[in-house]
Structure 1
Amino acid sequence: MVNDDWLTVNRENWDDRVRVHAESSFYDLPGFRAGASPLRSFERAELGEVAGKRLLHLQCHMGQDTLSWGRLGAEVTGLDFSAKAVEQARALAADVGLADRARFVVSDVYEAPAALPGERFDIVYTGLGSLVWLPDLTRWAEVVAGLLAEGGALYLVEFHPATDMLGEDGRTVDHDYFDAEPWRQDHAYTYTDGPALEKTVSVQFLHPLGEVVSALAGAGLRVEFLHEHPFTIFQRYPVLEESEPGIFTFPPGHPRVPLMFSLRARR
């Protein structure tokens, strides 16, 4: 199944997640419609001015991050392999008055060049929790490089792969950092509040940080920075404390590991 059907299995799983996520307090679509933004302040600072630029968001899900960049003045395109997620994103764009500056396309990442023939973007953005759904980062990086205009930049924000090594105490090393075997999971619930899923099986792929950087360098992109962050956006381990709304860190005295990272690489 992993070798042949991972894409089908994951698409079914994410199609099913849309009905749960759209009603969840985690995604808070009513709050977004009222003007709230899911973008973190460091993302806006690291990426810089986006007004007037063409921005492509790969694996955009229901489009909130995409539309948040649109609210900051970018001409945005969101791409996702779930038709149900794209349907929700298009409706959300209409709700917040961005239908004229936001486009959403159904495609998996590897087929993005065919879905957007000949198009080039000033910014390719990929947000949290995306890379684990891709088995081949070399191919991913080549797709990204091919979608960037000359001088354009990838901006990537992700959960740090070191977090997958640790046990629930956030201290004990329980898992092999270099484990390259796909993770087949069967979970009745998604990471948000809400009812159980009907399509519960998914397949994920873990990637060490060096693999991410090497794939981008191999595709001809120049890494401008790689920042590792001691905070995350949810209570990944029970010991984490909410140091400010929506930001979780280890308590004083607890050994810290990086919980997220952000990277910018330019063509």
Structure 2
Amino acid sequence: MGDDWFGDNRAYWDERAPLHVTSDFYAMPRFRAGATSLRPFEIAEMGDVTGRRLLHLQCHFGQDTLSWARLGARVTGLDFAPAAVEAARALAAEIGVTGARFVESDVYDAPAALGERFDIVYTGLGVLGWLPDMAAWARVVADLLVPGGVFYIAEFHPFPDVLDDATGGTVTHDYFPDKPTTYDEAGSYAAWTTSTVHNRATLWRHGLGTIVSALCAAGLRIEFLHEHDMTYFGRFDNLVHDEDGTFRRPEGLPRLPLMFSLRATRP
């Protein structure tokens, strides 16, 4: 995966990973004090991970990876940005999580980079849009699981991406785009006002059917697909921020799917 977009995307994240470690968005003082960064529904839907080998694809600087370790998993995190991997290793050492492994690799090269299979493959929020090929991604996921292994993903739902940013009440974008979108914007979702240099990034929009079908074609058995009417950032300007940290549409407006979670197994 050596096209120009790949180099742009890696430089983008390599610059932002250190910024995110110190941003208020990730609430690092609470995390260092023992709080989990995982969402409650993820922990409930995943179930007990004690002693299980868990791989976190696109792990960023390892906060969620290390949260699974705190719940008893034997964790490996993988990310393509060198600065993210370096930050993850430093964070693991800082909070005293021994045995956590972090590997620098593109997702599509993960089987060769890791050289082993896992009981659980996990991936978290905001990751699929950075991958161009869902079919190849799903084959990687299947290749990385032992027979009987579990794949779990919690991700932002693709449907809101077609709606306007103000209220989410008007369709303004194509759900089936013919090509990716390239942005050139400073800062990031965790550091809007920060001056940055590597600002060019390319993302893909994948429909829910594309994602699910790719996993099925790779041989995985879908156990559930849940759609959620809440999210964890202000996707639309009118979302209401609840005390539990979630965002929802105001009372009286029709509810929309803002996130989804999926669990599958390798037979």
| TM-score between both structures, scaled by the size of structure 2 | 0.96
Look up the SS of the partner of 1:231 in the other structure. Answer: coil
Aligned partner of 2:260 in structure 1 is 261
Q: Deviations over 1:91-129 (max 9, x none)?
A: 00001111x221000001000011011x11010001000
Structure 1's consecutive aligned runs of 4 or more residues displaced over 4 angstroms after TM superposition are none
C-alpha separation in 2, matches of 1:48 and 1:74 = 11
C-alpha separation in 2, matches of 1:85 and 1:123 = 22
Q: Could you tell me how far 1:30 is from its partner in structure 2? A: 2.4
Aligned partner of 2:220 in structure 1 is 221
Q: Could you tell me how far 1:76 is from its partner in structure 2? A: 0.1
In structure 2, stretches of 5+ residues that fail to align are none
1:152 to 2:156 alignment = no
C-alpha separation in 2, matches of 1:120 and 1:111 = 14
C-alpha separation in 2, matches of 1:52 and 1:18 = 29
Q: What are the within-5 Å matches in structure 2 for residues 1-267 of structure 1?
A: 4-98=3-97, 100-117=98-115, 119-168=116-165, 169-193=167-191, 195-267=194-266
Q: Could you tell me how far 1:38 is from its partner in structure 2? A: 1.1
Give the aligned length: 264
Asked if structure 2 preserves the Cα contact closer than 8 Å seen for 1:228 and 1:260, the reply is yes
C-alpha separation in 1, matches of 2:2 and 2:99 = 38
C-alpha separation in 1, matches of 2:254 and 2:208 = 20
C-alpha separation in 1, matches of 2:178 and 2:129 = 11
Look up the SS of the partner of 1:51 in the other structure. Answer: coil
Look up the SS of the partner of 2:263 in the other structure. Answer: strand
In structure 1, stretches of 5+ residues that fail to align are none
Asked if structure 1 preserves the Cα contact closer than 8 Å seen for 2:163 and 2:173, the reply is yes
Asked if structure 2 preserves the Cα contact closer than 8 Å seen for 1:184 and 1:201, the reply is yes
The residue type equivalent to 1:187 in the other structure is E
The residue type equivalent to 2:231 in the other structure is T
Look up the SS of the partner of 1:154 in the other structure. Answer: strand
Question: Residues 239, 146 of structure 1: CA spacing in aligned structure 2 closer, same or farther, 3 A cutoff?
Answer: same
- RMSD after superposition: 1.2
C-alpha separation in 2, matches of 1:19 and 1:227 = 33
C-alpha separation in 2, matches of 1:96 and 1:122 = 25
C-alpha separation in 1, matches of 2:39 and 2:13 = 24
C-alpha separation in 2, matches of 1:21 and 1:185 = 19
Q: Could you tell me how far 1:132 is from its partner in structure 2? A: 0.2
C-alpha separation in 2, matches of 1:47 and 1:234 = 22
The residue type equivalent to 1:131 in the other structure is L
Range moving further from structure 2, 7-16 or 237-246: 237-246
Look up the SS of the partner of 2:242 in the other structure. Answer: strand
The residue type equivalent to 1:220 in the other structure is G
Range moving further from structure 2, 162-171 or 57-66: 162-171
Range moving further from structure 2, 236-245 or 205-214: 236-245
Identity %: 59
Q: Could you tell me how far 1:3 is from its partner in structure 2? A: 8.8
The residue type equivalent to 1:244 in the other structure is E
C-alpha separation in 1, matches of 2:262 and 2:34 = 27
C-alpha separation in 2, matches of 1:266 and 1:161 = 23
C-alpha separation in 1, matches of 2:168 and 2:176 = 18
Q: Could you tell me how far 1:189 is from its partner in structure 2? A: 1.4
Question: Residues 51, 3 of structure 1: CA spacing in aligned structure 2 closer, same or farther, 3 A cutoff?
Answer: closer
